[in-house]
Amino acid sequence: MTRCKGFTLLELMLVVAIAAILASLAIPSFQDMLEKRRAAGAAQHVYEQLALARMEAVKRSKKIYVSFETDNATTWSFGVTDNATGRGCYPTLTDVTAAGACKIDYDNDNGTYSGSGTDDPYLTRFDSNELGGHVEMKIPNFSGQTTVFTPLRGLDSAAGTVRLTTDNYEVRVVVSSLGRVRICTEPVDDKTVPGYPEC
């Protein structure tokens, strides 16, 4: 008599039960990792644009403005401009030809837009939707929600902090009065985002 090889129903149920237990242990850890990555990714994006604005001010010997706008905690935007009057720019504007749009004018023709060519000003605005929309931005404490980098060694005329938070994590982008831009993490219930110093 030949015996068939295979799994019994009991063995199959045992394997499925073990897989379900392992999955239930892994899912919260995976969600926690995603939350950390969202907070760190949003902070890194803001950091890069602020550091770029500082470099552009020095390179071009021109003031560079970074303006922030928050409709509510999860809907926010920010933009960079070199052609500001008063407040900086309005990062909610998505038309490069609109007055007050966040744009950089690389050929220094006062933002004249011809509709073609690489020298035309282009939009330099970013919003929460581009970063997944799951990170809140606390209103930055810059004066008028705008910081200004000046050409003199990148000195900043308006120091402040941008706070980016999720349910369990907070990452801050800090601009010092000397124009230095850095990222740090603020403990929330003893949880911090690894890779950054504590604030």
Q: Has residue 115 been placed in a domain?
A: no
- The C-alpha angle with vertex 130 and arms to 196 and 126, in degrees rounded to 5, equals 85
| 15 within domain boundaries | yes
Question: What residue numbers bound the domain in which 152 lies?
Answer: 9-95+125-186
Split into its structural domains, the chain has a count of 1
CATH code, domain with 27 = 3.55.40.10
Q: What pLDDT score was predicted for residue 92?
A: 86
Q: What's residue 151's pLDDT? A: 86
Count of residues making up the chain: 199
pLDDT at 8: 81
What is the side-by-side strand order in the sheet with 170-175? 136-138, 160-165, 170-175, 181-186
Residue 78 forms part of a structural domain: yes
> Are 154 and 58 spatial neighbours (Cβ–Cβ below 8 Å)?
yes
Inter-residue contact 159 to 129 (CB < 8 Å): no
Task: Assess if residue 76 is contained within a domain.
Answer: yes
Please give the pLDDT value at position 182.
94
Q: What is the pLDDT of residue 116?
A: 55
Write down the pLDDT at residue 197: 93
Spans of the chain below 70 pLDDT: 1-4, 26, 72-73, 84-87, 107-120, 131-133, 139, 155-158
pLDDT of residue 12: 81
DSSP state, residue 61: T
User: Does residue 73 lie within any of the structural domains?
Assistant: yes
178 domain-assigned:
yes
| Contact between residue 55 and residue 154 where contact means Cβ atoms under 8 Å apart | yes
Q: Is residue 152 part of a domain?
A: yes
- pLDDT for 2 equals 62
Residue 194 lies in a domain: no
